[in-house]
Every structure is written in C-alpha cells, then in structure tokens.
Chain A
Amino acid sequence: MQKENTNQSVIQIENLSKSYPPDFKALNKINLEIKHGEIFALLGPNGAGKTTLISIICGISNPTSGRVLVNGKNIISDFRATRAIIGLVPQELTTDAFETVWDTVSFTRGLFGKSRNSAHIEKILRQLTLWDKKDDKIMTLSGGMKRRVLIAKALSHEPDILFLDEPTAGVDVELRKDMWEIVRGLQKTGVTIILTTHYIDEAEEMADRIGIINKGELILVEEKASLMKKLGKKQLALELQEKLKKVPKTLKKYKLELVNNGNCLIYTYDTKAKHTGITALLGELSEAGIKFKDLNTSKSSLEDIFVSLVKETT
C-alpha cells in the first residue's frame, strides 16, 4: 500500500558528537534532518564517520553528546518506538552460518517485536529472488546472496526507515542494478532510505539529497539536482582538424586546455553563469583560423564534486 509521503523530517540529528579516547573525534557536532520518503545518500571517504553515524541512530553505539530524534522521539529514552521502525543493512556480511534463510529472516522479524507472518517473509524472499534458497543454510550462499539475506532481514519487520550501509560493496553489476530497483520500489511505498556508498554513481543514480561527510564533519547537505547545478561544471571538447602547438594568445581569456597531443581543446564553463562564452569562443576560434571536426560537451560528475569538496577540507 502506498504510504503517506510528506516533506516532514523523520530523523533529526542535533549536535551529535562521538569521541574515542584519547582524543579522536569520529563525529563532530553533526546536524542533519532526513525527510520522510526521501533517499538520502551519505558520501564520504573511509573513516569519515558514515558508519558511526548510522550505528548511533540504530542503537549500536552510544553518542558522546547531542541527540537524535526519530519521528520526534528520542532514540535513547524512547528506544522501543524508534528502533521498531528502523531496518539496517550493515556494511559487513555479518550473518549466521548454520541457520537457514527462512529461519534467520523470521528471527529478525521476531526480534523487532512482530509476530510470525509467513506471507510477508515469502513476499520479501521472492522480491529478493531468495525464495529458491529459503531452506539453504546461509553458509552455502554466495556473497551476493548473503547481501540479499541481509536486506531481507532488514525488511522483515516492515520498517519505515531503512539504512543501507554500503549496500552494493563487493556485489556484481547485475545485483547492483537489482538492488537499485528494490530501493526505488521501497521508496515508492513510502520508506525513507539512507544509504552510504563509495560509489558516486550510485548516489547520483539513486539519491534525492546528498550529504558529504569528511573527518566526522558534515561538509555539505544539498538536493542532488541543485548540487549538480550549483557545483557542476561543463566542458566543451573541440576536436581539431589540425594539430596546435600552443593556444593562441588571443584566446588566453578562455583558459583553454590543449590536450591529446594538441589535437583537442578543452573549454570549461560554468553552467550557472548567464553567459557561458561558447558563442564568443567559437567566433574567435574561427577568426584565429582554428577549425574543428567535432565537438562534444560533458557535465562534471558527482565524483568530481565530491573529490574537490573533500580535497578542500583536507
């Protein structure tokens, strides 16, 4: 059934910090709101604090200071209400070995306070193409199948909020695409999804909003589209008919790059600028007698944005 989709925040993180002795700050005064029904991607390099943040919200770690509210309820004083609506797919393939797929998924449902519901478990297992493996012991499954089992476990108690910590790490392309489909399907039913990932294309493909975390600090939180628009740059590549030794002085103001052994000119321009300068550049190239046989434009990826932001804060 389609759940209500509002712009209300389901998770509020206020001044959240986590320190480890002697003086390592894994998280430093994080403030963040997650909206109902969105897919929020948390990007960051290794050790940035992504898993620590998720662990605190889910109850696996204790915060040093600050607070987290889930649906307006404190995750510590009202842990039963908050944890009951959260599902977590951990980064590591931490599964039982000797249990069957069916038993382990049913076990998780029970842990989260839900009575047995074979129809629901069957639905999830079929959705994740695990139905044929339901009686198999987990130790006999491949890595990709184990990842699916972890997702099935996280969905077993019908959570409203789903955390996916590096959900596609180490899985093949086909499975990755499948998972994206599953995540999109879940979003359609009103589930709020927070995913951490190393794969920028995953965030670019999936997320509504993106947060970038580095060294325990949230550097940026932005709608994906506006982030791409605001920080995204475009490049115009001109494939020349004749090789150039150097860029003529008259074109210096365009800050052109000569690449590919002088066979290609690259012009980088700002997409948010009113005048991109392309028309003027093409006119001046013609005046300078530089002819080109092909041209194409490319947008900077989220990866470029991410790398430049992380570099700035390092």
Chain B
Amino acid sequence: MNIEAVKAIYRFEMARARRTVFQSIVSPVISTALYFIVFGSAIGSRITEIEGISYGSFIVPGLIMLMVLTQSIANASFGIYFPKFTGTIYEILSAPISSFEIVLGYVGAAATKSLILGLIILATAHLFVPLEIQHPFWMLAFLVLTCITFSLFGFIIGVWADGFEKLQIIPLLVITPLVFLGGTFYSISMLPPFWQTVSFFNPVVYLVSGFRWSFFEMADVNVWLSLGMIGFFLALCMATIWWIFHTGYEIKD
C-alpha cells in the first residue's frame, strides 16, 4: 500500500479546504443559521412540537444531513473533477497508486471535511435550540457513514462530469429536492397517505429518519432499515467506482 500517496492526496485536499475556509465551512454554517431563523421562527411558531419534540430541535438532524449530503458531494466531485479539468490528473494516473488508494485519498478528505462541517453545524444548532442526543454512538455512525457514502457518490459525479454544468446538475436537480422532500423539515407521518407512500421511494428519508432516531428515538422508518439502506447505497457506490477504475471510464483512454 502506497501510504505516502494517500497522505499526499489527503493533505492536498485538506489544504484546499483551508484555503477556501469561507466557502467550505463558514458559508454552510451561515446557511444553517438562516434555516433556523426562517424555518424555526416562521414554521416553528405554527408547529410548536412534533411527537413531543420542539420544532426547532426536530429539524436539527435533517439540517445536518442536508448540509453533509450536499457538501460531501460538492467536495468529492470537485476534488477529482478539478485535476481532470486542469489536466493535472496525469500525475495521479502515472503515479504508483492503486485505484483504492486514489479513492481513499480523495474520498477520505471529502468525508473528513463533511464530518467536521456536520459537527460544527451540530454545535451551532446547540446555540439556538436545546439538544440531547439519545444514542451518540449511532449518531456518529450515521454521520460517518453518510459522509463516506455521499463522498463516494460525489467522486462518481466528478469522474462522470465533463463540464461544470454536469458537475452541478445532479446535486442541484436531484439531491437538493430529495433532501428537501426527505423529511428534513417535517415528519413523513404528517403527509397524506399517498405522499407518505411516495416518500418511501426517496432514499434520503431513510438517512434522515435513522439520524433523527439517534437524537430523539423517533423515526419514520425502522432504524435497521435506515442502516440497511445506507449500507446498500454505500455498496452501490463502491461497486460503481470499482467499475470506473476497471474500465478506465472517463479517466483513461
């Protein structure tokens, strides 16, 4: 195993985050604070509690997921797309590194950044609303698994994209609507039966539900099903990346 190469990629990506700290950390934190103000005040004044949890506290896990999902994808996709765009990918391809090590470096860094961001948002949320985490281990497990899975997904998008438009299209047109409709700001049980059924086809519902369970022991779906879904998505992303490197898709001639 070429540990030095993994460290080099990891350090390079983390250095990029430090250089763009406003974009990487400050901006998502400000967005989260705005969500608290807008949703917490506007909707929270009408829906005071959901299943015994104050509305402000209820939306915290969903908000963290929203930010972690979008930032994992953005970080990982940009991390691998940018060398393709500038041509510096030649270095990665000509270095004595396996595809596993490349993924470990890029995805590891993207997931680390998202994890840090998730924890910062959690701390920020704590300033606005009272929070008590019922299952801290599972909270962390869900957070880490989501960071890794969606960083892998972002890596796939970065490999697939051949322009900045393609880089943005999946996060903007697919991920953001799925997250907003995935029970971030409400409980699925509040929807009419038809829309409840539709919602269960949204994979984000399972992530938010499982994560919320770790906070409040309340969930829209069984927690093991949530864990199974994230495990399935993780396996799917890993299989896709294996195929990408096996075939050289969009990376090698």
Contacts and interface: CB of A to CB of B under 8 A. Distances in A.
Interface string B86-103: 111011111111100000
A111 B19 contact: no
A60 B93 contact: yes
B19 A107 contact: no
Given A60-B93, A79-B96, 18 more contacts: A58-B90, A59-B94, A60-B90, A61-B252, A62-B252, A80-B2, A83-B96, A84-B96, A88-B94, A90-B87, A95-B88, A96-B86, A98-B19, A108-B91, A108-B95, A110-B8, A110-B11, A111-B9
A55 B19 CA distance: 32
B12 interface: yes
B165 interface: no
Contacts, number: 82
Interface of A: 18, 20, 55, 58-62, 79-84, 86, 88, 90, 92, 94-99, 103, 106-115, 153
B72 to A, nearest CB: 22
Contact of A111 (B8, B16, B86): B8
B228 to A, nearest CB: 37
Interface of B: 2, 4-5, 7-9, 11-12, 15-16, 19, 86-88, 90-98, 248, 252-253
A111 B91 contact: yes
A88 B90 contact: yes
A83 B253 CA distance: 18
Contacts of B96: 79-84, 112-113
B224 to A, nearest CB: 41
Nearest to A94: B87
A93 to B, nearest CB: 9
A255 to B, nearest CB: 49
Q: Tell me the dominant secondary structure on chain A's binding face.
A: mixed
B86 A59 contact: no
A111 B88 contact: no
A114 B90 contact: no
Contact of B15 (A79, A88, A103, A109): A103
> Which of B5, B86, B94, B97: most chain A Cβ within 10 A?
B94
Contacts of A55: 253
Contacts of A106: 8
Contact of B12 (A84, A92, A107): A107
Nearest to B82: A96
A88 to B, nearest CB: 5
Contact of A62 (B88, B92, B253): B253
A122 B12 CA distance: 20
B252 A94 contact: no
A62 B94 contact: no
